[in-house]
Structure 1
Amino acid sequence: MEKVLLIIIALSGLSAVSSHAERQYHFVYEAKNMSEAQRYCREKHTDLATVDSMEVVKLLNDMLDPNKLGEHGNIYRVWIGLYDDLDSWKWSMSDTSFFKPRETKFKQWASGEPNNEYSGEHCTDIRSNDGLWNDRRCAARINAVCLDVRGPNATFVLIESAMNWTEAQSYCREHHTDLASVRNLTENQQIVELLPPGIYWIGLYRDSWKWSDGSSSPFRYWAGGEPNNRNYNEACVAAAFHNSGKWKDADCGLRKHFICYKSVVPVSMQVIKVRVQKPNGVDLNDPAFLAAMLVEAKKNLRAQGLDDNVQVAWRKQPDGQVFHKEEEEKKKRDEL
């Protein structure tokens, strides 16, 4: 039996191809509100742009064609996929068994609340005079109400020590169970009866800025003083390209140009050298034999943990053959 060498550089070989998701950005020079822009991007591409690094910021700055922005107001400001999820309130208490169905939805907001009036009002206080709730900046320093849980029963504990919301949460978790979670009107009244006049932290808070495509990137590129919710309803984000692409919160109903992205799958090729021993009576260049070997090769790659996106193929040499005898290949290389 003869040994043959499968050369996989420029001559011939077996190629393994794998993929990694990347993004291709597209400026759309049509004025739309945020919802319209999102719908357009999802229909034509993948979604509104997720900007998760300075490299992407620089890329977008280079891509912008200022001559196409036109006169649609707020010139050079275009929608990206970041938005303020105003309805993402949840309880600090993470044990879901504490809540019966629909109890997590109980809210006792004061009229007009939550309004995010000063931007960043992501935490909740309770007023002692009427038991109604307000959203408040989490950095405010006020007293708090903790929760002690014993089986299905909840006991509320007043903490008369001014702390920001995060400090209050840590204190309650260390000394009790958590910041107060309020499941119903009865428990809300129990807290009111406990409190001296004033306002107090409870455990309701919300996740703030989120990406339209669900990405979890924490990267932010706010302009100075932003986000400021200046008009009390600025829950969407535009990149200001007259200011290096820095971000500004804005009313989602405004009509602006926007940036979409499309997921692309780049192809990378791995070259593998193989040496096989020729079985008696087998033509190694027979198409049926080559196809059978590819099936086995893909099985081996899958066993090594590679997914089904991997493709394998033979690369033919200039004479149209895949395999040559090893000594012939050596002679060819020596002659070069």
Structure 2
Amino acid sequence: MSWMDAQSYCREHFTDLAIPRNLSENEKIRAVIPAGGYVSMGLFRITWKWSGGPMYVFRSWMFAEPDGGVQKCAAAKFDQSGNWGDWPCDVKKSFVCHHDSVPFTKQVVKVKLVGNSALDLNDPAVLENLQEELKQKIREQGVDAEIRLSWKKQVDGKIFYKEKEEDQK
């Protein structure tokens, strides 16, 4: 799947894309991937952070990676090294999900954005910024628990869509 599709799948059925926090966890992921295979992982670039929210501490980048450009998602090359590279988010790769055993509450909320904007609301960077703003609003309401937000894709693969005139009545 593409990185976004894999992330949506993992968030719907588990917790999120795999997030290795150390060499041992990186090796556990490597053990379930066919030799030489690439696997999408929960690391993406706005400021290279894990999809679950925190900045990353453990690093296992290939030489000269991340090299920037339009490549905003990470995948690991689990050949001999298991090191990571940055990749375009729409490239389809294998993926591994992780599951947190900590109980959590799941709540579905429909979001309607009003106004005219040239922003692509399905752009990963825009979606991440919207999530951060929503988290801040939730915290301002007095919620002090860990907050994880994810987007639900429509049948056409998009998260946001423009309402038609008859939908607004």
TM-score by length of 2: 0.56
Alignment-mate amino acid for residue 44 of structure 1: H
Structure 1: any 5+ residue segments left out of the alignment? 1-31, 67-74, 86-207, 266-336
Distance 1:243 1:84, change over 3 A: farther
Q: Distance in 1 between matches of 2:78 and 2:53?
A: 24
Q: Quick check: 1:46–1:262 contact (8 Å CA) kept in 2? A: yes
The answer to which structure has the higher strand fraction is 1
What is the CA distance between 1:238 and its match in structure 2?
A: 0.2
Please name the residue that 1:76 is paired with: 37
Residue in 1 that maps onto 2:7: 38
Alignment identity in percent?
35
Q: CA deviation at 1:260?
A: 0.7
Please tell me the residue identity of whatever aligns with 2:77. A
Q: CA deviation at 1:58?
A: 1.6
Stretches of 4+ aligned residues off by more than 6 angstroms? none
Q: Secondary structure at the match of 2:99?
A: strand
Structure 2: how far apart are the matches of 1:35 and 1:258? 11
Q: How does 1:1-336 map to 2 (within 5 A)?
A: 32-66=1-35, 76-85=37-46, 208-229=47-68, 232-264=69-101
**In structure 2, distance between residues paired with 1:217 and 1:233:** 20
Give RMSD over aligned pairs. Answer: 1.5
Residue by residue, what CA displacement relative to the aligned partner does 1:50-82 show, whole Å, maximum 9, x if unpaired?
Answer: 11101111212222234xxxxxxxx61110000
Letter in 1 for 2:53: G
Assess if the C-alpha contact under 8 Å between 2:42 and 2:51 holds in 1. yes
Q: Could you tell me how far apart the structure 1 residues matched to 2:28 and 2:90 are?
A: 27
Per-residue CA deviations over 1:229-271 (Å, capped at 9, x if unaligned) read 3xx2101000001242100000011111111101125xxxxxx
Amino acid at match of 2:62: A
Larger radius of gyration: 1
Aligned with 2:41: secondary structure? strand
In the comparison of the two structures, how many residue pairs are matched?
102
Mind listing any 5+ residue stretches in structure 2 that lack a counterpart?
103-169
**Equivalence for 2:154:** none
Q: What is the CA distance between 1:217 and its match in structure 2?
A: 3.3
SS of the residue corresponding to residue 79 of structure 2 reads helix
1:105-134 per-residue CA deviation (whole Å, 9 max, x = no partner) reads xxxxxxxxxxxxxxxxxxxxxxxxxxxxxx
Contact 1:47 1:213 in 2 (8 A): yes
Q: Deviations over 1:195-225 (max 9, x none)?
A: xxxxxxxxxxxxx111001133311100111
Query: Aligned partners of 1:83 and 1:223: how far apart in 2?
Result: 15
1:25 — aligned with what? none
